[in-house]
Amino acid sequence: MELLNDQYDSPWKEAIEHYFPEFMTFYFPDANAEIDWTKEHVFLDQELRAVVQDAELGTRFVDKLVRVTELSGTESWIYIHIEVQGTMQAEFAKRMFVYNYRIFDRYEKPVASLAVLADEHKQWKPTSYGYNVLGCMHTLEFPIAKLTDYDEKLDELLASDNAFGLITAAHILTRQTRKEHQERYEAKLSLVRILYNRHWDKQRVIDLFKVIDWLMTLPVWLETHIWQAIETIEEHKKMQYITSVERIAIAKGRVEGQVEGIAKGRIEGESKLLKRLLERRFGVLPAWATEKLSNASESALEAWGEAILTAPTLDAVFQTEATPKKSKE
Inter-axis angle of helices 181-197 and 202-215, nearest 10 = 170
Predicted pLDDT at 306: 72
CB within 8 A of 17, min separation 6: which ones? 43, 64
Q: How far apart are CA 78 and CA 35, in angstroms?
A: 9
Answering whether pTM is above 0.75, one says no
Q: How far apart are CA 329 and CA 195, in angstroms?
A: 56
**What average pLDDT does the structure give for the chain?**
80
CB within 8 A of 146, min separation 6: which ones? 117, 122, 125
Question: H or E stretch including 294?
Answer: helix 287-294
Predicted pLDDT at 265: 53
Cα end-to-end distance, the chain, whole Å? 56
Q: How far apart are CA 231 and CA 151, in angstroms?
A: 31
Q: How far apart are CA 96 and CA 117, in angstroms?
A: 12
By three-state DSSP, how is residue 109 classified?
A: coil
Residues of the chain with pLDDT under 70: 1-10, 52-61, 73-75, 239-270, 309, 320-329
Please give the distance of CA 211 from its chain centroid, rounded to a whole number.
13
What pairing do the DSSP bridges indicate for beta strands 111-117 and 128-133?
unpaired
Max Cα–Cα distance, the chain, nearest Å: 72
